[in-house]
Amino acid sequence: MAGKTMRAVQYSGYGGGFSALKHVEIPVPSPKKDEVLLKLEAASINPVDWKIQKGLLRPLLPPKFPFIPVTDVAGEVIELGSAVKDFEAGDKVVSMLSVKKGGGLAEYAVASSNLTVNRPPEVSAADGAGLPISACTALQVLKSGGAQFDGTTKPLNVLITAASGGVGHYAVQLAKLANLHVTATCGARNIEFVKSLGADEVLDYKTSEGASLKSPSGKMYDIVIHCTVGIGWSTFEPNLSDHGKVIDITPSPATFLSSALKKLTFAKKMIVPLLALPTKADMQYLAGLVKDGRLKTVVDSKYPLSNAEDAWAKSIGGHATGKIIVEISST
């Protein structure tokens, strides 16, 4: 592909939201030794993508401008780095691109072979692109709360907040695969949807019952998978079982402080921040579940690359039901 150019969407500084995204024609990147060059079919947007643009992770990310955002992609292998032995040109794959390098809003991208997995024909590009950050996070949070996926989990009650979102909708399905009892929160419009994913009971977060997080059947939660913001420890605490643990994927400074204090005082009820790190093994496992029809990616909406701005604005709006997908090409 040397000398060829591609369409891409990038931004050149912090802030500006969707209106700072610019469409450009730039050279197709070349894969390094351990990388594969992908012709992208689909990408999915995660809140971290626009949080990086907002500057929430400065000065680490992005390391330089201009920056092509988005990490979660599906596509076809076009070229292989010299050390890549486990893929061939033509393989359909799901990849998580480097958080530092980004690159997902483009026609081509380079991905580490260590965060690339084969995509079975049963898994569409959109279904696959949804998985890396959102589904790996859901899986890792559940495992860190004690869920096992080999049928050996003891009965646990889990609360999943923002169960209609990118992470939450996978978490509900995975929790049911681990045989957990699931209480979920979401907005009124998504109650039937979240039930259809398998949740045993659902609370509307805008009602007083929802705001209290109380299980309608009186369950005390062993695990809380906390996927939204604005809920304090005093709301969680009375709903936790004796050794209940809140795993907070949107931690504030108060979460870190509270977590440290609880560790120091050997508290039985805990709150812990969690930053998930997608792995090849988890991505393979999740793609296999989608192939077998045991896990689904629910697509909120799809946008062509030429209208990536609307996908970006939709994610910033915070009201997606499932995943927001940018369609790039069908190979």
Ligand X SMILES: NC(=O)c1ccc[n+]([C@@H]2O[C@H](COP(=O)([O-])OP(=O)(O)OC[C@H]3O[C@@H](n4cnc5c(N)ncnc54)[C@H](OP(=O)(O)O)[C@@H]3O)[C@@H](O)[C@H]2O)c1
Interface residues with ligand X (CB under 6 A) are 46-48, 133-134, 137, 161-162, 164-168, 185-187, 190, 205, 227-228, 249-250, 274-276, 315, 318-321
Residue 183 CB neighbours (<10 A): 25
What span, in angstroms and rounded, lies between the C-alpha atoms of 326 and 45? 8
SS3 for 279? Answer: coil
Residue number with CB closer to ligand X (67 or 87)? 67
Residue number with CB closer to ligand X (10 or 134)? 134
Q: Would strands 35-45 and 22-27 be described as parallel, antiparallel, or unpaired?
A: unpaired
Whether the CB-CB separation of 158 and 188 falls below 8 Å is answered with no
Give me the least distance between CB of 278 and ligand X, in Å please: 9
Shortest CA distance to 50 belongs to which of 318, 312, 322, 314?
312
Give me the least distance between CB of 164 and ligand X, in Å please: 4
Report the first-to-last Cα separation within the chain, whole angstroms: 16
Distances 277 to 145, 204, 211, 321 between C-alpha atoms, Å:
16, 30, 30, 23
Give me the least distance between CB of 52 and ligand X, in Å please: 10
- Strands in 181-186's sheet, in edge-to-edge order, are 201-204, 181-186, 157-160, 221-226, 240-248, 270-273
For helices 47-54 and 308-317, give the axis angle rounded to 10 degrees: 90
Residue number with CB closer to ligand X (6 or 175)? 175
Chain length of the chain:
331
Residue number with CB closer to ligand X (75 or 130)? 130
Give me the least distance between CB of 187 and ligand X, in Å please: 2
Residue number with CB closer to ligand X (74 or 276)? 276
Give me the least distance between CB of 121 and ligand X, in Å please: 27
Residue number with CB closer to ligand X (28 or 276)? 276
Give me the least distance between CB of 228 and ligand X, in Å please: 4
